[in-house]
Amino acid sequence: MSSKVQSTGRKRAAGAGKGRAIFSLTIHPGAALEDYVLGTPVLSKSFSPRSAISSSPPHVGPRAKEHQASAPESPPPPEANAEAIHFLHSLRQEELQMLFFSETLAMVSNTGEPQGELTIDVQRGNHKDVSGDLLHCPLVHAYSKGFMDKTLCGNSLLGYLSWNLEIKEQHSQEFIKFHVLPMERKMSLLKQDGQLAVTRRIKEGEVSGSHTPHPLETRSRGQIMSGWEPGVRTQQGPHAQHLACLPSLPLPSSMFLTQICPEQEVKTEVTFFPWHSVAGFISESANLLLLRVMALRRMVPSDARFLALDTEGKLCYSTYQALGSQTIQVDHQQVEVFIVEQTVHSEEGIPMSCQFYLLPDGHLAKRVQVGFPGCCMITKMPIVREEDEIEPRPAFEKKPLMWEEDMELYSRFLDRKEELRLSHTRYLQQHPEAKALVSDFLLFLLLRQPADVVTFAAEHFGPFAMSWPPTPGLRSSDRPSPFGLLEPEFV
């Protein structure tokens, strides 16, 4: 091999089951993908065992062992409290469907100059589950593009959620077109195989037109590490066989892949979190819908502590606080808004806070990020949607109808009575056998004068039935009931 590959590996000590394994690769220009396959490099004649990366930790001396033994244990991973989980479980599908609408806000500077536009769209989408079936779920799509200090920047977000705001799949992208060093950051979240996979890809610089892209650059972010694709839960890719050791690593686990070339640097990080450890996690797409729920209910769960990802992709706490109501001017109208402040408590950096001014139906009227020179606000008052209240059925008192005193009703009664009398007379004239049967029955009834008239009528008209059994020659005094011969459905 003419190219040189340098690779280093390190593993930080951790408590029982709470460690994080970190792998990093530094690849120089011209290095082929086959020369480094995530810790299993192809051995050459000049290969040195010390430069290889394996799944087992490198050999350390006695002093290093003493230093590792005395290292402090890492703090336990953050967990959402019961108030946050209870609030998410209280969400109803009918409630979320009322919050499906699109809205657009203008990005303005402190001096009121327009800087760009922000659009948030929540609608009903379809997502494939593990078995491949399409399931209806909330779909959140947000995108913005504008200028920050005369520098073009923007971001986009696409997320699929469950009806209690659990993440199914999410993809986001941010870019800043600095003149010296443009930057682009992509992140994808995917629920698969009982864990949450978080892939972060940061690219700094631009590749000139004459530069031939490296195989890693031409692959999508979901395929960089193991051939993942959105919605696909199987590992298919040239490195899949080398990732078989991942489930045995302490979770959550991370892997880093860094590619350096003269024009740009690409860093990729894949982190796996067990699904049970991210209960109460609120993604960026879930946060937009959760704020609408709080505005609709006009309340924030007290002392609720959710989970979120900070700017470095680390799991941390996220809290919400109600700042009360305020009257602001929107499109020459005075409207009352409900203010909610969200704070992401990063373990390594300073907390980031953002204030949302929400209308009663969930529309976002204003968004202010603390410490950011500018804000987002609506320029046109939307049509405020209100929940339909089901009114009780009116109760009307029943009044007696004196139809005999009403000339019109009494006239209609007489006409109907005469119409029925003529119809009955006409029918009996056309079927004289009906009159003969009734006369014959009345004659026998008066002659026998039975105590049970109904049974006598059943025995009298029973022989006319098609399914009537033949009459025996000797009749018994204990005769069965004629109703027992009828079909069960007629009894």
**pLDDT digit string (tens) for 261-286?**
556 688 888 999 999 999 999 999 99
Does residue 367 contact residue 104 with C-beta atoms inside 8 Å?
no
3-state helix, strand, coil in the chain (%, to 5): 25, 35, 40
Alpha-carbon span 473 to 59, nearest angstrom: 111
Q: What is the pLDDT of residue 13?
A: 36
Alpha-carbon span 54 to 249, nearest angstrom: 12
Which residues sit opposite 158 in a β-bridge?
Answer: 141, 171
Alpha-carbon span 388 to 360, nearest angstrom: 14
What is the sign of the dihedral through the CA atoms of 378, 381, 382 and 388?
A: positive
Which residues, other chains included, contact 152 with Cβ-Cβ below 8 Å and sequence gap of 6+?
Answer: 145, 146, 176, 177
Return the structure tokens found at 484: 């027992």
Q: What is the pLDDT of residue 119?
A: 94
Alpha-carbon span 142 to 354, nearest angstrom: 17
What interhelical angle do 453-461 and 432-448 show, nearest 10? 130
Cα angle, residue 163 at apex, residues 159 and 169 outer, rounded to 5°: 25
Return the structure tokens found at 102: 């699109």
Q: What is the pLDDT of residue 226?
A: 36
Spell 384-411 as b/e; 16+ CB within 10 A means b: eeeeeeeeeeeeeeeeeeeeeeeeeeee
Q: What is the pLDDT of residues 334-380, one digit of tens each?
A: 899 999 999 999 888 788 999 999 999 999 999 998 888 888 989 88
Alpha-carbon span 145 to 158, nearest angstrom: 15
Q: What is the pLDDT of residue 255?
A: 56
Which residue ranges in the chain fall short of pLDDT 50?
1-61, 63-65, 67-68, 209-252, 488-491
Alpha-carbon span 88 to 175, nearest angstrom: 32
Which residues, other chains included, contact 86 with Cβ-Cβ below 8 Å and sequence gap of 6+?
Answer: 301
Q: What is the pLDDT of residue 259?
A: 52
Q: What is the pLDDT of residue 150?
A: 80
Return the structure tokens found at 372: 């950011």
**Residue 173: its H or E element:** strand 167-176
Alpha-carbon span 79 to 18, nearest angstrom: 13
Residue where the block lists tokens 């209806």: 136
Q: What is the pLDDT of residue 312?
A: 84
Q: What is the pLDDT of residue 188?
A: 93
Does residue 97 contact residue 296 with C-beta atoms inside 8 Å?
no
Q: What is the pLDDT of residue 475?
A: 61
3-class SS at 354? strand
Rounded to the nearest 5°, which phi and psi values hold at 98? -70, -15
Return the structure tokens found at 392: 């009780």
3-class SS at 356? strand
Task: Mark residue 27 as left, alpha or beta (left: phi above 0; alpha: psi -120 to 50; beta: remaining).
Answer: beta
Peptide bond into 252 cis (omega under 30): yes
